Amino acid sequence: MRIKEVKGYLLKVPYPEKKAFAAAWEPAPHKDFTFTLVEVTTDEGISGYAGMISRGFEVIAFIKSAVSEFLKRVPIDPFYVEILTRPLRIGSYFGPRVGLVDIALWDIIGKSLGKPVYKLLGAARDYVKAYMSTGQIKKARDHINDFEEARSKYGFKAVKLRFHRMKWEDDLKVLKEFREAFPEIEIMVDANQAWTYFPPYWDRKTALAVAKELEKLDVVWLEEPLPITDLEGYADLRRRTSVRIAGGELEYGLHRIREHLERGCFDVIQPDPCLSGGITEMKKVAALAEAFHVWYVPHGWEPGIGLAACLQLIGTMPDYLCPYLEYPLDPPLTPEVRDAILTEPIEPRGGFVKIPDKPGLGIEIDMNVVKKYMIKEVTEEA
Ligand SMILES: [Mg+2]
């Protein structure tokens, strides 16, 4: 079997009732959920897919001009994923992140063998506990109502809230109210400080003050409390608090993850297969996490097809290595929007998500829906 072509699409799924999603980490709200879809076709008629939250048309242009051209000149059997490790690493250093190609190849491998990827790689489990990953800053009462509703529908036992108000003391007030409403659930806190490009900007003293407060509220982890450039600050903070420190969701490259772990920055690492080298590279990251005795909980803020890739990876990790799935859910961002192109949405039951077990990534794509939401022209919002 040979790779015939690699194609990329940009999709834009509107939020229902013209609502907007105001991500805590972005300065302006979005009217649409925008993401990149990659399709790899083979000479045997099998297509593999992968997707990630939008990185714009330049990803698609780079795939067309560089990755696809490379694969035409160096014809590769999709089973030989390791041949692509180095070109994809260099490609992602030189241009946009192109690890999606690796994920699409795993989709092809699974489809050609009739097995889900996690079973081909060595399965560890069929279910994972999902935490509801919120993304917006809301009033405490709205967070409480949203979680109550999601819990009654999906059985969540864990949730992540964002800390991104101008004063962290205001974040804390909301968390305290939330904790009072749900004393028994697991709560994570994400400050998104690693790569935030608009205020507030936390320093080491702020991060430590927040961590000390979170200790009292039995928080599972504090995510990205410092800029990703401050590895020394992360290691120092981790030594001074009993709250787990999480990070690395936008990181790319084995060398970076090795450095984080050698310097003792994190209790939980979070590289994302869609943003950081695909499933092949993330299996190596999982081995590093295991060797350093930290958790590896992949970043999951992706379209459903990206979540499916995370799930295939998680299916290969035992619970002691990866205790959770990050499950993005914060109305108007719902499974209907996030998983619009899937024939069935990925949904928890009793707080757990089943690793999708159809061949490949375990899910099926409806190409008619892909066509419906495909953007043909570059627009400002894309
Ligand atoms: Mg995060």
**CATH number, position 61:** 3.30.390.10
Q: Can you give the CATH number for the domain in which 124 is found?
A: 3.20.20.120
Which pLDDT belongs to residue 63? 84
Distance 115 CA to ligand 1 centre (A): 31
pLDDT at 70: 84
Confirm whether 378 is domain-assigned.
Answer: no
The pLDDT of residue 381 is 40
Please give the chain's pLDDT, 382 residues, in tens.
999 989 899 999 999 998 999 999 999 999 999 999 999 999 999 999 999 998 778 888 888 888 888 888 888 899 999 998 888 888 888 888 889 999 999 999 999 999 999 999 999 999 999 999 999 999 999 999 999 999 999 999 999 999 999 999 999 999 999 999 999 999 999 999 999 899 999 999 999 999 999 999 999 999 999 999 999 999 999 999 999 999 999 999 899 999 999 999 999 999 999 999 999 999 999 999 999 999 999 999 999 999 999 999 999 999 999 999 999 999 999 999 999 999 999 999 999 999 999 999 999 999 999 999 998 754 444 3
CA of 96 to the centre of ligand 1 (A): 20
For residue 14, CA distances in Å to 130, 144, 334 come to: 25, 25, 11
> Does 219 share its domain with 341?
yes
Is residue 359 a part of any domain in this protein?
no
Answer whether residue 379 is part of any domain: no
| 265, 146: one domain | yes
Residues 6+ apart with CB under 8 A from 235: 263, 264, 265
Residues 110 and 134 in one domain: no
Q: By C-alpha distance, which of 295, 306, 296, 356 is closest to 127? A: 356
The reply to whether 172 and 311 lie within a common domain is: yes
Q: How many residues are present in the chain? A: 382
Q: What is the 76 CA–ligand 1 centroid distance (Å)?
A: 35
How many Å lie between the centroid of ligand 1 and the Cα of residue 190? 6
CA–centroid distance, residue 15 to ligand 1 (Å) = 22
Domain shared by 197 and 241, yes or no: yes
Residue 347 lies in a domain: yes
pTM for the full predicted model: 0.96
- Cis amide leading into 200 (omega within 30): yes
67 SS3 class: helix
Same domain, 61 and 109: yes
Give the distance (Å) from ligand 1 centre to CA of residue 188. Answer: 10
- Shared domain for 191 and 147, answered yes or no, is yes
Within a domain: residue 265?
A: yes
- Asked if 321 and 191 sit in the same domain, the reply is yes
Asked whether residue 8 falls in the same domain as residue 70, the answer is yes
The CA 72 to ligand 1 mean position distance, Å, reads 37
Distance 250 CA to ligand 1 centre (A): 9
In a domain, 219, yes or no: yes
Range of the domain at 35: 3-116+364-373
Q: Is residue 159 part of a domain?
A: yes
pLDDT at 379 (0 to 100): 43
Distance 135 CA to ligand 1 centre (A): 9
Tell me how crowded residue 62 is: count the other CB atoms within 10 A of its CB.
Answer: 20
**Overall domain count for the chain:** 2
- d(Cα 295, Cα 307) in Å, to the nearest integer? 18
284 in the same domain as 191: yes
Could you tell me the distance, in angstroms and rounded to a whole number, from the CA of residue 329 to the centre of ligand 1? 13
Q: What is the pLDDT of residue 378?
A: 47
Q: Cα dihedral angle (236, 167, 186, 20), rounded to 10 degrees?
A: -120
**How many angstroms separate the alpha carbon of residue 246 from the centre of ligand 1?**
8
For residue 264, the CA-to-ligand 1 centroid distance in Å is: 19
Ligand 1 geometric centre to CA of 82 (Å): 29
Q: Please check whether residues 110 and 149 belong to one and the same domain.
A: no
Nearest CA among 243, 248, 252 for reference residue 231: 248
Distance 326 CA to ligand 1 centre (A): 9
260 alpha carbon to ligand 1 midpoint, in Å?
Answer: 16
What is the Cα gyration radius of the chain?
20
Domain assignment present for residue 381? The answer is: no
| Predicted local confidence at residue 144, as pLDDT | 98
132 plus 204 within the same structural domain: yes
Ligand 1 mean position to 300 CA, how many Å?
9
